[in-house]
Amino acid sequence: MDYVTQHFIAAAKKLREELRDIAGKLFLLHEDIQEQTEAINKANETQAKRNESTPILRAELHIPDAVQAQKETSDRKKHSLDLFMTVVQTITMVAVVAYAVINAKQLRKMENAVVAANRSAKAAETANVNGIKAERPWIGSSNFSAVGFAPDVVTNVSLTILNAGKRPAYVILQELGSHEYSTFPENPFYDPLKVKPSHAILVPGISATFHWKIMASADTFKRLVKNESKFYIYSHVEYRDVGTGETHTTRVCEIYLPEYNDFFICEVYNHAD
């Protein structure tokens, strides 16, 4: 055999072997497909049998017209009742809110009324206190006299006090004094009382006059003329308001001026409370 024939025979063998191999593989693939088909068919048959063995139940509810009408009527009544309850609840809520607002306004009015009443009561009390104070007694000096004041001469002095207030005054103490001072002190000297002080009630518009005697030496007058000192006559009156029991004080002071040879009201120690 020549080379070509040999080569052709070898190629034919090889082709035949490859065809056999392909045929074997196709056979195996066919068997696999067959097995899968059979498995699917068995599964379908099993499901079909199950479907055939399980009955399907379908029920339809038929409601009579009368019952349906009654149900619709009941639904309408329920809807109407729900609507009515909603309206009632709304009205109730509005009424409660309105009641709360009215109560709040009334409470404010009451509080304002209480405040106004307290203010009125306080104003009335203040007016009453002021009225009581306005009606109090007031004692002051209405007349003073020291005529003939001279060196080493006994001089008669008189002081008249008057209740210029509107209630009686109970005079507790009346002190009279005279002294030479270069500067008038805050608490001037008073001679010790030799007798128990007398008490008197001065009704409004009534006065009382007190008398006592003073004397200044010649040396005192020399100092007065040289303006080295001053000579004072003074008095202290303590009295009680018979209406309230409050105690008040009146002080009176007169100063001697040599150039005028007379007494004049002091710049100090003339006040009343």
Q: Which two three-digit tokens encode residue 54?
A: 């399980």
CATH of domain 139-272: 2.60.40
Percent of the chain residues topping a pLDDT of 70: 69
Strand partners, 255: 232, 264
Of 7-16, 26-35, 53-62, 217-226, which has the strongest mean pLDDT? 217-226
* Per-residue model confidence as pLDDT tens digits over 216-240: 999 999 999 999 999 999 999 999 9
**Res 7: pLDDT:** 62
Give how far the C-alpha of residue 175 lies from the chain's centroid of Cα atoms, to the nearest Å.
53
Residue among 83, 76, 80 at smallest CA distance from 91 = 83
CA atoms in the 13 A half-sphere facing the CB of 233: 24
Residues 215, 202: contact at Cβ < 8 Å? no
**Amino acid 257: pLDDT:** 96
Residue 136, phi then psi, degrees to nearest 5:
-70, 160
Confidence bin at 88 (pLDDT 50/70/90): low
What is the tens place of the pLDDT at every residue in 10-24?
776 777 777 777 767
Q: What is the mean pLDDT of residues 43-60?
A: 59
Average pLDDT of the segment spanning 181-199: 83
Tokens (6 digits) for 212? 């006592």
pLDDT at 57: 47
Delimit the domains of the chain by residue range.
1-46, 62-134, 139-272
**pLDDT class of 38 with cuts at 50, 70, 90:** confident
Q: Say yes or no to pLDDT of 265 above 90.
A: yes
